[in-house]
Amino acid sequence: MNISRFELDNGLRTVVASYEGTKAVTIEVAVATGFGYETGSNRGVSHLVEHMIFRGSKSRDSIVDISAYVESLGGYVNASTDRDVTTYFTYTPVEGFAQACEVLGDILQNPKFAEADCNLEKQIIVDELRIARDTPEDWASQNLDYLLWPNHGLGVPVSTDIENIEGLLPLHLRRHMNDVYVASNMVVGIAGDIDTSHARSVVQKAFGGIPSGAPTVWPAVDRNIGSNLFCEDRNVMQTSFVIGAGTLGNEDPDKYVLEILNAVLGDGMGSRLFTNIREKRGLAYDIYSGLYQYRDTGALTISATVSPEVALETIDATIEQCHALSMDPPTDHELRRAFEYVKGGLVLSMEHSSNVASWHTREELLENYKMTVDEVVHKLAEVGKRDVALAADKLFRSEKLCLSVVGPNPPEAQLSNLLSRRTKGAMNASI
């Protein structure tokens, strides 16, 4: 795979991952905007803009015109709004590369933002947010975010943005586009059997008219958490909980250690949580952990949905597994399994051009130091048992753990006691 980079005259950065053996090409446009950047009445504007981009442009009247055109090339077009980035992408046969690039350039530079379309799309998003709030797992996760980041856009439950979204007008969307959708705040990523010189001419034609502008500034994260417990009594048949502990994100010196720690603890059926909570004790149908890293913050979270009768026992056992990782570091077998599992996930994901494009686009947009998959694998291979134990000791201290629970009559006092319980001993000095 050959990675090349170039900049247009307007400052728009482009990364081309060119490789043979594929008949597909992915184009991804990443914009540094999302929920984490938003405050006050601005909440939800990134999400609404992303939806409205597909409501038509000057040359394409509707979402049907846009999607039907890309489908006529044999591919598809879509977008997503995340916490620190909003992306627009096409996936087509390589023969449709220039046309797909033109479509993205058109909709991102010439959106209609008609008032009738805006009103319709707002209702669609409101319904989406209400569904998330009505889903106990989603609502527990959103409120864990609030516990971890109470004074940041990352921590505002997105399902509470409804009133703000209902008040947004086309003029607010245009203002957001003018401020944020500028070349210095965007990256184009291309992955497939595409020649770099050809890519440059196509990207120049499609995106050369975007104004240079100024990059958005990520709001610094306050390291202090607020309350560490959220409980909501809800008349449902199961109890959903999420446990989390904050990290330093992409600035964390334990960044790669945490990837291995996450795999040992709760990622996959060979992890400790799945083995102990499900297979040995039968407390949960599924339990898993995930690592989420942003510019200067992040979190390792553990999620499960269980019968209310065993919720307290399951949460207690889960916290105990977290604490135990510092006293009982991974065995050679566990460490090897975790490394191969994480490595395999990375390597296999690169079999799809959409993941290749996304990897290099986000690296270019969000990272100071760009790393290849091979370089990341090398870093992961250097992680040892003592590294995992030390990271667990720092991560799972009682003052850092947060818990969000949604279900029938959660025992708040008992849950609070579980969180305040410290590790039963110091870290094993012999590891």
What the chain holds in terms of domains, given with CATH numbers, is 2-207 (3.30.830.10), 229-420 (3.30.830.10)
Cβ(108)–Cβ(77) under 8 Å?
no
Residue-by-residue DSSP string for 92-145:
EEGGGHHHHHHHHHHHHH-B---HHHHHHHHHHHHHHHHHHHHSHHHHHHHHHH
Return the closest-CA partner of residue 379 out of 371, 370, 369.
Answer: 371
For residue 340 the two structure tokens come to 């191969």
Which residue in this structure is represented by tokens 């799972």?
396
Rounded Cα distance between 391 and 394, Å, is 5
Residue 425 pLDDT: 46
Output the CA–CA distances (angstroms, integers) from residue 144 to 155, 225, 246, 267, in the order listed: 8, 11, 11, 19
Pairing verdict, β 13-18 and 2-7: antiparallel
C-alpha torsion sign, points 316, 318, 323, 327: positive
Which residue in this structure is represented by tokens 């958005």?
216
Output the CA–CA distances (angstroms, integers) from residue 87 to 34, 54, 80, 126, in the order listed: 10, 13, 5, 20
Return the closest-CA partner of residue 290 out of 146, 399, 145, 158.
Answer: 145
Please tell me the total number of residues recorded for the chain in this structure: 431
Rounded Cα distance between 73 and 130, Å, is 35
Which residue in this structure is represented by tokens 């330093």?
248
Cβ(242)–Cβ(229) under 8 Å?
no
pLDDT, one tens digit for every residue, the chain (431 residues): 899 999 999 999 999 999 999 999 999 999 999 999 998 888 999 999 999 999 999 889 888 999 999 999 999 999 999 999 999 999 999 999 999 999 999 999 999 999 999 999 999 999 999 999 999 999 999 999 999 999 899 999 999 999 999 999 999 999 999 999 999 999 999 999 999 999 999 999 999 999 999 999 999 988 777 799 999 999 999 999 999 999 999 888 899 999 999 999 999 999 999 999 999 999 999 999 999 999 899 999 999 999 999 999 999 999 999 999 999 999 999 999 999 999 999 999 999 999 999 999 999 998 767 888 999 999 999 999 999 999 999 999 988 999 999 999 999 999 999 998 754 445 554 55
Rg for the chain, CA atoms, rounded = 23
Residue 422 pLDDT: 58
List beta partners, residue 31: 86, 186
Rounded Cα distance between 11 and 185, Å, is 9
For residue 427 the two structure tokens come to 């870290």
Rounded Cα distance between 341 and 378, Å, is 14
Contacts of 137 (CB under 8 A, 6+ apart): 240, 303, 305, 406
